[in-house]
Amino acid sequence: MSGSFSPPERCRLCGSNNLRARGAKRGKFRPRDFHFYECRSCSFLFVEPVVGPEIYDDAYYRGKGADPLVDYESEYTNYAATPRNYEFLDLYRLARIHLGKNAAALAEEPIRWLDFGCGAGGLLKFLRDRETVPLRDQERKIEASGFDVGSYAEKLGTVDNLKIWNRGELEILPVGYFQIVTCIEVVEHLPEPLPVFELLARLLAPEGLLLLTTGNLSSPAAKLMGVGFPYCVPEIHVSYFTPLSLKYVYDRVGLRPVKAQYLDGLRFKFLKNVAPFLPLGLAQRLAGSKILLRLLDFFYGVSAMPSAIK
């Protein structure tokens, strides 16, 4: 645990001292009380105290830690056989649509795509297998690279020959180096998220697209359950966003919010979080229902969380 707990004085996102306590929750993996605070100025929520990075050990990545639904090894071994492949299809589709709108302004060079928080590398391998993205009457090569820390990041670079940057390398890349940046379920793990948003905004090319996903703490489900919302896992999820707080931080770092409508990404979330508790046949049928997926999208507010354009 990082230091002894005392109530915070300022918001960890905007610096305001206009805070209110939202309640406490007992940790399951660290048996102690965690306290939730909301900033009235920017609607950002955060947890005190913060567990140190040691919680992200090998047991965590095997699904034996604070998030039992994590399955890095399956994704690393064969991403295409996991439900996450649906999410990758959605991200590729959204990037293709965006790039197609701006194809005339793109330089004649590969599309550089950064997956920030690349985890077990499933998206990087998906993009490597795709090789190109169709833009108007031509196929443009994808140059995919990633950033993360830990043993999987090391394997992706040394065993799989994927380009994995370290933080220092990213910070000295030219401004506007990437046309696409993905940041998928990352920012909720960061005690101080603003510097990461600043870095990603700096790395994004003019009219480049940031595809970012994280839990929506103003969704109907979150409002109904409060800190009992299953996404509130205080040992690992220490920063919580709403559409308002995302728009605030985008504006602060020079990005414009843009709506991203997910469908296959929702199918992945359903298969990961709900399907394990259902009979296999029923789970597959429900995962194919667009009506159910749109209801889940409304209830959990997935597509209400904006991505951004430079």
Stated pTM of the model: 0.92
pLDDT per 10-residue tile (average), the chain, 310 residues = 69 95 91 94 95 83 77 88 93 93 74 95 96 85 93 92 96 96 96 97 96 96 93 95 97 96 88 80 85 92 95
CATH of the domain at 176: 3.40.50.150
Q: Round to whole Å and give the CA distance between 271 and 129.
A: 23
Q: What integer pLDDT is reported at residue 104 of this predicted model?
A: 65
185 in a domain, yes or no? yes
Q: Round to whole Å and give the CA distance between 128 and 163.
A: 11
The domain in which residue 241 lies consists of 19-309
Task: Give the list of residues 6+ apart from residue 5 with CB closer than 8 angstroms, or none.
Answer: 35, 48, 49
Task: Provide the number of structural domains found in the chain.
Answer: 1
11 in a domain, yes or no? no
8 in a domain, yes or no? no
7 in a domain, yes or no? no
6 in a domain, yes or no? no
